[in-house]
Amino acid sequence: MNYLDLSKDELAKERARVLKEYEKLKALKLNLNMARGKPSIEQLNLSRGLLDVINSESCCTLKDGTDCLNYGVLDGIPEIKELFAPVLGVAPNQIFVGGNSSLSMMFDIISFFMTRGVPGFEPWTRQGKIKFLCPCPGYDRHFAILEHFNIEAIPVPMTITGPDMGIVENLVAKDRTIKGIFCVPKYSNPQGITYSDETVKRFSALPHLAGDFRIFWDNAYAIHDLSDTPARLLNIMDECEKNGTQDLPLIFCSTSKITFPGAGVAFLGASKKNLSAIKNFYSAKTIGFDKINQLRHVRYFKDYRGLLSHMKKHQDILKPKFDLVTNALKSEFSGNKIISFTDPTGGYFISVDVMPGCAKRVVALCKNIGLILTDAGATFPYGIDKKDSNIRLAPSCPTLDELNVAIYAFCVAVKLATLEKLLES
Binding site for a copy of itself (CB under 8 A): 36, 38-39, 41, 44, 47-52, 54-58, 67-72, 99-101, 103-104, 107-108, 111, 114-116, 125, 141, 144-145, 147-150, 256, 260-263, 281, 283-293
CB of 54 vs a copy of itself, minimal distance in Å:
6
CB of 392 vs a copy of itself, minimal distance in Å:
16
Q: At what angle do helices 102-115 and 140-148 cross, to 10 degrees?
A: 30
Question: 142 near 107, Cβ under 8 Å?
Answer: no
CB of 78 vs a copy of itself, minimal distance in Å:
16
Residues in the chain: 425
Beta carbons within 8 Å of 364's beta carbon, 6+ residues apart: none
- Number of H helices and E strands in the chain, helices first, is 13, 13
From the list 263, 265, 264, 292, the residue with the least C-alpha distance to 60 is: 292
In the complex with a copy of itself, which residue's Cβ is closer, 209 or 287?
A: 287
Question: 314 near 224, Cβ under 8 Å?
Answer: yes
Cα distances from 121 to residues 89, 115, 404, in angstroms, run 27, 11, 53
Beta carbons within 8 Å of 27's beta carbon, 6+ residues apart: none
Beta carbons within 8 Å of 412's beta carbon, 6+ residues apart: 18, 21, 22, 25
Question: 300 near 53, Cβ under 8 Å?
Answer: yes
In the complex with a copy of itself, which residue's Cβ is closer, 71 or 160?
A: 71
Give kind and range of the element (H or E) at residue 34: strand 32-34
In the complex with a copy of itself, which residue's Cβ is closer, 89 or 288?
A: 288
CB of 295 vs a copy of itself, minimal distance in Å:
10
Question: 184 near 231, Cβ under 8 Å?
Answer: no
CB of 378 vs a copy of itself, minimal distance in Å:
14
In the complex with a copy of itself, which residue's Cβ is closer, 100 or 246?
A: 100
With H, G, I as helix, E, B as strand and everything else as coil, classify residue 269: strand
In the complex with a copy of itself, which residue's Cβ is closer, 281 or 304?
A: 281
In the complex with a copy of itself, which residue's Cβ is closer, 17 or 285?
A: 285
In the complex with a copy of itself, which residue's Cβ is closer, 61 or 340?
A: 61
In the complex with a copy of itself, which residue's Cβ is closer, 254 or 389?
A: 254
Q: What is the 3-state secondary structure (H, E, C) of 304-354?
A: HHHHHHHHHHHHHHHHHHHHHHHHHHHHHCCCCCCEEECCCCECCCEEEEE
As beta bridge partners, residue 153 has 132
CB of 142 vs a copy of itself, minimal distance in Å:
10
CB of 61 vs a copy of itself, minimal distance in Å:
10
In the complex with a copy of itself, which residue's Cβ is closer, 94 or 259?
A: 259
CB of 418 vs a copy of itself, minimal distance in Å:
32
Kindly state the DSSP code that residue 130 receives in the 8-state scheme.
-
From the list 424, 423, 407, the residue with the least C-alpha distance to 333 is: 407
CB of 248 vs a copy of itself, minimal distance in Å:
24
